[in-house]
Amino acid sequence: MQAKPRVLVARAVFPEVIARLSQHLEVYANQTDEVWSKAMLTQRLAGMQGVFTTGGDSIDQQVLAACPALKICANMAVGYNNFDLAAMTAAGVLATNAPDVLTETTADFGFALLMATARRITESEHYLRAGLWTKWSYDLFAGADIHGATLGILGMGRIGQGIARRGAHGFGMQVIYHNRSQLAPEVEAELRACYVSKAELLKRADHLVLVLPYSAASHHAIGAPELALMKPSATLINLARGGIVDDAALAQALQIKTIAAAGLDVFEGEPALHPNLLKIPNVVLTPHIASASIPTRLAMANLAADNLLAFFTGKAPLTPLNPEVLQGAGQSAAAPD
Ligand code: 8YV
């Protein structure tokens, strides 16, 4: 009998997902959820044909060179900046991600973070818990309105569109966006969204939500010069990736009130945070949980597992990022002797 393909699951996941994978694959799980350095991951990947990764597990040229048996990397994330996709394609390694299943949950969270930030929810709760609330005042934690305001969206993919829909249809917001490419007129009409230049977006938005993918091109897309263009009353929400915002420049802008407030779910160098962000009150900080509803995280894990199972049972993976490597997939999926 042919040996089952060996697959490493780099981080702890739902036990039922490990059980599903184990029906067809020899699974090396990390259910104690140790966070491995790249060297440790590389060591554990030796002899593995597949890997189940999360957004923090980097698969680059070095890892690929050290793990020639590797045939597929299935990311439990829609973002895949942890993959060197060109190097994977060159090495004939299939990459898959986990799109769609998290869109609505992430868009919900974008709104939650926007509302918490604009209406100063966490700041006021900290004040109350600290026993500082002694009287009602006309301007106590008075913030910005959401209904009727101008919602700016930078990056108009699936999640951006989910946020636009909520803003336009749920809160009567005027939606403006900037993206690499303009949406089709019928999509713009449905979303009631208007395409503008990046500079106009920065100048006009009352609330600016970042939902663009991270790449060398989007590194520090929001830094001191961009923040300076924004309204002093504006809020900035980063749901996308750390590194898109220059966190040091943002902390400074929040301190001197270049903008009013920010809500951040992702950080440069996370889980570490720029220390200045922890010192200022007008920022809502959450630990990369935008997709973290239980059904959605389960759906993301199952989609990554489905990709692995499809690949190793000779079926078409559901969400390939470099489908060109599937030419000759029959031999790619073969288990070792
Ligand atoms: C994940 C995310 O929670 O899907 C993404 O790109 O950022 C999050 O939904 C995280 O990357 C874990 O894999």
pLDDT in tens, 55-96: 999 999 999 999 999 999 999 999 999 999 999 999 999 999
Does the Cβ of 102 fall within 6 Å of ligand 1? yes
Does a structural domain hold residue 336?
no
Instruction: Mark whether 313 and 170 lie in a shared domain.
Output: no
Set 241, 268, 274, 297: catalytic member: 241
Tell me: do 175 and 247 sit in the same domain: yes
Strand 283-285, strand 150-154: pairing? unpaired
In-domain check, residue 302: yes
In a 3-state reduction of DSSP, which class is residue 214? coil
| Atom 5 (ligand 1) nearest CA | 77
CA-closest candidate to residue 163, choices 28, 154, 296: 154
Q: Does residue 122 sit in the same domain as residue 258?
A: yes
Among candidate residues 222, 165, 223, the one with its CA nearest the CA of residue 193: 165
pLDDT in tens, 197-237: 999 999 999 999 999 999 999 999 999 999 999 999 999 99
Judged by DSSP in three states, 309 sits in helix
Residue 271: asked if its preceding bond is cis (omega within 30°), the reply is: yes
Length of the chain, in residues: 337
Model pLDDT, residue 2: 81
Ligand 1 center–CA 80 separation, angstroms: 9
Is the pTM above the cut of 0.85? Answer: yes
90 and 115 in a common domain: no
Residue whose C-alpha is closest to residue 22's, from 9, 40, 36? 9
Same domain flag for 133 and 149: yes
What CATH code is carried by the domain that includes residue 149?
Answer: 3.40.50.720
Q: Could you give the 3-state DSSP secondary structure of residue 119?
A: coil
What's the domain count of the chain?
Answer: 2
Asked whether residue 137 is assigned to any structural domain, the reply reads yes
Domain membership flag for residue 45? yes
CA 216 – ligand 1 centroid, Å? 19
- Are residues 46 and 73 both part of a single domain? yes
Tell me: pLDDT of 131 over 70: yes
Residue numbers of the domain that contains 178: 103-285
Pocket-testing residue among 14, 78, 212, ligand 1, by greatest number of atoms within 8 A of Cβ: 78
